[in-house]
Structure 1
Amino acid sequence: MIKKRAVYTVLALILAPFVGHAVTLPPLESNPTESMGVLIDTLSTSCAPLPTSLDDFSRAQLHDFYQPLAGALAWPNEATRVMLLEQVNQLADDGLSPTDYPIPSMPLDASPRLRACIDILTTHSYLQALHDLHYGRLSQQKLESVWRSSDMPVRPSAKVTIMPVAIANLSEPGLAFKAVRPSLVQYQQLRSAYAALRSRPLQSWQPIAAGPTLHPGQSDPRVPALRTRLNAEGYNTALTSGSVQTDTRFDPGTVAALRAFQARHGINDDGVLGTATLTELNVSPLTRREQLKVNLERLRWLADDLTQAQVAVNVAGAEVMLMQNGVDLWRKRTQVGRAERKTPLLVSRINRITLNPTWTVPPTILREDKLPAIRSDIGYLDKHQMNVYNHQGQRLNPHDIDWSKPGAIMLRQEAGVNNPLGRVVLRFDNPFSVYLHDTPSQRLFDRSPRVFSSGCVRVEAIQTLLTKILDADQMRTVQARLDSGKTSQYRLDQQLNLVMAYWTVEVDANGIIHYYPDMYDNDQKIITAQLLDK
């Protein structure tokens, strides 16, 4: 109780400017509803200083909020204000800063005009907190732009989702916060993990020096530091404290601990200390904690889409999953785009399947990869079963083409076991010419990180995926067409909602945190934006 009272005292001191300008308030009009509207319209002079977040959009929200109250105050008693303050403080567990939503203190002798002013400012913080908790505080499109198919529903506005909840739960604001907080299981588990992590002192570990790739059974002077690092995060190396500091052999216990670390950090758990593993080991405890905060913001952006998705791709984790009500039921590895040819983030619908596909080389790959290879050796076309076409679909003789200036041509690789698309392509509307597809490069699924494509998503065990999205009769039809070897299109009776997104942290049902390499360096952009938001 003493601690809570101290928090309120400090908060009152911080927010004192909100309550120190009663003399500037104009007289209230005789019509209470009209007077509240006038006060909202004159906030910049009547209730200064104002938070920078109180813009024209916020004023419009305040008008909408107070209209059904017919001039009454939203926060007439201290009890509900205390409950609101408790909910705002709990936003720290969501990775939001409670100080961004100040609740002004109410002097005991406040005049009616001052009470109205403070009530409006309190309501603004209330609505802003609910909005940021539901939609995210930062702009998704500015930081991690997502393309959306025109036939996919967009998130309803705050007027639809926030305002009715805010007004209906004024006497118990906790219910409003519960209603707008993302119910996505992934979000709830991540929030619990972040709350536990931020309540503890930051761990400390020293970076491990660079060096040659270290295989099990070898000796290396860095092994004691590796053991210390793994033990610091709870990966038991099974050696006594003395051996931890002196034994330079990469022993089985340390190998097992490293494999456990790799499995939780999106790295192939081969027990080998290579560049990718070393990079993840040397991420600081503070950055790890910030990663959780970043991904809470991401999941606020993605919550509605992931809840409605039937197929989702985590680009950072290089995984595809089948979803139902926001819960993944099945997942497999994928290969995604290299940093210079990133897999785009999008929301669309899988509407058809190409069986035994041919591959028309996309313009970027034609320009940057294929033309240099053909100029070096025109036999490249025969070796890769490629034919040349004009844009009217007429096949051309490659020896009649000036490959230094080939003009408007297309390269097409015929269907077959060596086709880069394998035997199956899942297609969906998008402007990037990307799709989910099979691949003959199965061995690359065992590499890490799995960034090998030019933007498309190569799916492991794609025929298993087909058996899960098609019923038995559909699958028999598809299998017969596959067996024919002929290229054909199979249209889905029911299209599948697809989300291709990017997140670098997940928490499983047991509370275990799993990290994925930030392959496109997106986390730092959001961390920087969060710092600049202060």
Structure 2
Amino acid sequence: MKYKFVRDILLCLVASFALFSCHQKRELRKREIVRDVKELGEVVPEQIGERLSYTADNKTLEDKVPVHSVPALQYFYQLAANQAKWSVDGQLIPAADSMLYFIDHADEVGLPAGIYHQGALDTAIQQLHAATGSGKDAALLAEVDVMMTDAFMKMASHLRYGIAPRDSITLRPDSVLTDSALVQLLSTAIKDNNIAGTFHQLEPAYEGYHSLKAALLNFKAKYQSLHWDSLPTAYVDTPAFKQLVLNRLVQTGHVDTANGHGSDTALLREGVKAFQKEFCLFEDGQAGKKTIQVMNKSYHDWMIQAAVNLDRWRKWPDSLPNRYIFVNIPGYHMMVWDSGQVVLDSRVIVGAPRTRTPLLNSRLSNFVMYPYWRVPFSISIKEMLPAIQKDPHYLAKKNLEVIDKDGNAVNPDSVPWKKFSKNYFPYVLRQMDGLENSLGIMKFNFFNKYAVYLHDTNNRGLFRNSYRAMSHGCVRIQQWDSLAMYLIKDDKRFKRDSVRAWLDKGQKKQIDLSHSIPIYLRYYTAEGKDGQMMFYEDIYGEDKVLKKLMSL
């Protein structure tokens, strides 16, 4: 027993020493001054090798920022025998300056600079520049080299595919740059001193992406150096509060008191309207709740909002069809693209937050004139059944038919409405065609599992609203007539005059397109237009979800 006890103690001591030794081996040498520059070719590779071993164990570099790909780092330096790639004889090469520039300006392409080792690299570069004497710090050169390599690989991947993972509507067939592809990209970029060109080639080629990026740059130049006060969210519309709002508008240049004219009230109203116009709010000149909420957003908030939308663009494929329909849900607009040009732009009404318009890819195949509206089951039991039970004339007022399971119309007076509930409703409600139909006089169909479509509306005055998230999920379009005429413009089977005549006569017809057209329902809360940022309300909270996925 005594021998066994001593043996166990010795084994524990040996194990503890082994663990301590392993831990010691993983410690990185923070400083190694080399007096003879010629010796850097031997010492720096040793230091790089230490960092690669450390990274393999910890999946991070010494600044604790996770690396993009350990195998890619190892493969890149294996090909170079662990030699430094971003410096020669202890001096950083021009490509390193380019890489540092892109890291410092990562926010201009919607990327967070911190994940590219910005803090550690800035400190290390300052130390390299501040060093005096003939010696070179091999440890510092190795640290900079590996961090820049990882930063390039990470940024290249993010510019190509975005930070957030792919989702159900991502159209890219691939989602990662392989390790060999990253190594080849970096090797060529350093060899040709073309970091900028390499990165630009990886970015989306779409006009929407580049318009947003250009507008973001202008926004940054305008607002980065400014500071503005937050306004109280609980307030009384008093002179004191109005003065706070006026001060806030002066801080961001929406009111110029030096050149002002008239009363403070007039200045305030014009300043609020200028702010509302810039940030896509209803321009009533009143500092209401929503306007105050937007005024209280910080510069950082706006930059993040732009960043998540740039990331959305990176989920598109390298090219899109020659023509397609694009609906931006929070922007409340639809565009028809043909041969690289917008040939139709229309306001739309989209689903309310409780009945969202889904994000999807599909193909529009036909449109129907004077359609019936088959009321979805959820609307029938949640909204219409209670109304019918209260008012026996509700069905007639809304021009609704009651259809049984065999497709036959039944007399609503013979239906025991009081017996029905959400658990038992054996009928379908169908709204007759006509001007009072909720679908208006035209419906555009495309396959999807959500049973949504584009359509006209019998309440066209709603298109004047600034807030237009109010449908049950379908997309109501203002320019429905123009869309129909565009869809048949090259179809010899139909003449536009004939379609217009059918509409005038109120004839119910279905027009099947000879060539279906792709349609994309998307979610962009920031766009660029004429060099200016266009910010939209995050009506469904999708930005919040994406910010978490991007760790912003």
TM-score, normalised to structure 2, is 0.72
What whole-Å deviation, never above 9, does each CA across 1:136-184 have from its counterpart, x for those lacking one? Answer: 112353xxxx547xxxx53434348965655653422322111112233
Q: Which residue of 2 aligns with 1:91?
A: 106
2:172–2:316 CA contact under 8 A, matched in 1: no
Letter of the 1:355 counterpart: M
Is 1:413 equivalent to 2:413 in the alignment?
A: no
Choose from 479, 499, 520 the match for 1:478. Answer: 499
Aligned-residue offset at 1:225: 4.1
SS in 1 for 2:476: strand
**Greater mean deviation of Cα atoms: 167-176 or 498-507:** 167-176
Distance 1:369 1:46 in 2: 57
Distance 2:541 2:278 in 1: 19
Per the alignment, do residues 191 and 154 of structure 1 end up closer, same or farther by CA in structure 2, a change over 3 Å counting? Answer: closer
SS in 1 for 2:382: helix
1:306–1:326 CA contact under 8 A, matched in 2: no
Choose from 338, 342, 345 the match for 2:359. Answer: 345
- Identity, in percent, stands at 25
Q: Which residue of 1 aligns with 2:277?
A: 263
Is 1:452 equivalent to 2:478 in the alignment?
A: no
Is 1:186 equivalent to 2:208 in the alignment?
A: yes
Choose from 131, 136, 141 the match for 2:157. Answer: 131
1:209–1:222 CA contact under 8 A, matched in 2: no
Is 1:442 equivalent to 2:460 in the alignment?
A: yes
Q: Which residue of 2 aligns with 1:516?
A: 536
Letter of the 1:203 counterpart: H
SS in 2 for 1:440: coil
Q: Which residue of 1 aligns with 2:199?
A: 177
How does 1:1-400 map onto structure 2 within 5 Å?
Answer: 44-45=56-57, 53-54=66-67, 58=69, 75=85, 77-78=87-88, 79=93, 80-102=95-117, 123-139=149-165, 141=167, 147=169, 153-159=171-177, 163=182, 165-166=185-186, 168-171=188-191, 172-198=194-220, 200-207=224-231, 222-236=241-255, 247=263, 249=265, 251=266, 254-302=268-316, 310-324=324-338, 328-400=342-414
1:202–1:286 CA contact under 8 A, matched in 2: no
2:107–2:303 CA contact under 8 A, matched in 1: no
Letter of the 1:132 counterpart: H
Distance 2:322 2:29 in 1: 45
What whole-Å deviation, never above 9, does each CA across 1:505-525 have from its counterpart, x for those lacking one? Answer: 22222x222222222233334
TM-score, normalised to structure 1, is 0.74
1:359–1:413 CA contact under 8 A, matched in 2: yes
1:205–1:284 CA contact under 8 A, matched in 2: no
SS in 1 for 2:521: strand
Per the alignment, do residues 280 and 187 of structure 1 end up closer, same or farther by CA in structure 2, a change over 3 Å counting? Answer: same
What whole-Å deviation, never above 9, does each CA across 1:95-118 have from its counterpart, x for those lacking one? Answer: 31333234988996869xx97x99
1:41–1:59 CA contact under 8 A, matched in 2: no
What whole-Å deviation, never above 9, does each CA across 1:331-380 have from its counterpart, x for those lacking one? Answer: 22211111111221222222221221110011221121111111222321
1:204–1:285 CA contact under 8 A, matched in 2: no
What whole-Å deviation, never above 9, does each CA across 1:476-530 have from its counterpart, x for those lacking one? Answer: 4433443342333222223222222222222222x22222222223333444554
Per the alignment, do residues 370 and 48 of structure 1 end up closer, same or farther by CA in structure 2, a change over 3 Å counting? Answer: closer
Larger-gyration structure (1/2): 2
Letter of the 2:113 counterpart: P
2:368–2:442 CA contact under 8 A, matched in 1: yes
SS in 1 for 2:444: strand
Per the alignment, do residues 329 and 201 of structure 1 end up closer, same or farther by CA in structure 2, a change over 3 Å counting? Answer: farther
Choose from 476, 484, 505 the match for 2:526. Answer: 505
1:21–1:47 CA contact under 8 A, matched in 2: no
2:399–2:431 CA contact under 8 A, matched in 1: yes
Distance 2:77 2:370 in 1: 61
1:276–1:448 CA contact under 8 A, matched in 2: no
SS in 2 for 1:133: helix
Per the alignment, do residues 327 and 256 of structure 1 end up closer, same or farther by CA in structure 2, a change over 3 Å counting? Answer: farther
Per the alignment, do residues 127 and 205 of structure 1 end up closer, same or farther by CA in structure 2, a change over 3 Å counting? Answer: same
1:18–1:48 CA contact under 8 A, matched in 2: no
Aligned-residue offset at 1:132: 0.8
Letter of the 1:519 counterpart: I
Per the alignment, do residues 254 and 46 of structure 1 end up closer, same or farther by CA in structure 2, a change over 3 Å counting? Answer: closer
Letter of the 1:192 counterpart: A
Distance 1:220 1:441 in 2: 40
Distance 1:48 1:205 in 2: 39
Distance 2:172 2:59 in 1: 36
Distance 2:324 2:352 in 1: 25
Per the alignment, do residues 82 and 228 of structure 1 end up closer, same or farther by CA in structure 2, a change over 3 Å counting? Answer: closer
Distance 1:220 1:121 in 2: 55
Aligned-residue offset at 1:314: 1.5
Letter of the 2:161 counterpart: Y
Distance 2:72 2:502 in 1: 57
SS in 2 for 1:169: helix
Distance 2:169 2:405 in 1: 27
Per the alignment, do residues 493 and 159 of structure 1 end up closer, same or farther by CA in structure 2, a change over 3 Å counting? Answer: farther
Distance 1:431 1:331 in 2: 26
Choose from 484, 496, 504 the match for 2:517. Answer: 496
Task: Give the RMSD, CA atoms, in angstroms.
Answer: 4.2
Aligned residues: 478
1:333–1:445 CA contact under 8 A, matched in 2: yes
What whole-Å deviation, never above 9, does each CA across 1:377-427 have from its counterpart, x for those lacking one? Answer: 232112211112234423233334333335332111111001111111222
Q: Which residue of 2 aligns with 1:12?
A: none
What whole-Å deviation, never above 9, does each CA across 1:290-319 have from its counterpart, x for those lacking one? Answer: 323333333333575878772211211211
Letter of the 1:346 counterpart: L
Aligned-residue offset at 1:72: 8.9
Letter of the 2:537 counterpart: P
Uncovered stretches (5+) of structure 1, i.e. residues with no partner: 1-15, 23-35
Distance 1:469 1:17 in 2: 67
Distance 2:399 2:411 in 1: 14
SS in 1 for 2:349: strand
Aligned-residue offset at 1:47: 8.8
Distance 1:101 1:517 in 2: 30
Distance 2:97 2:533 in 1: 34
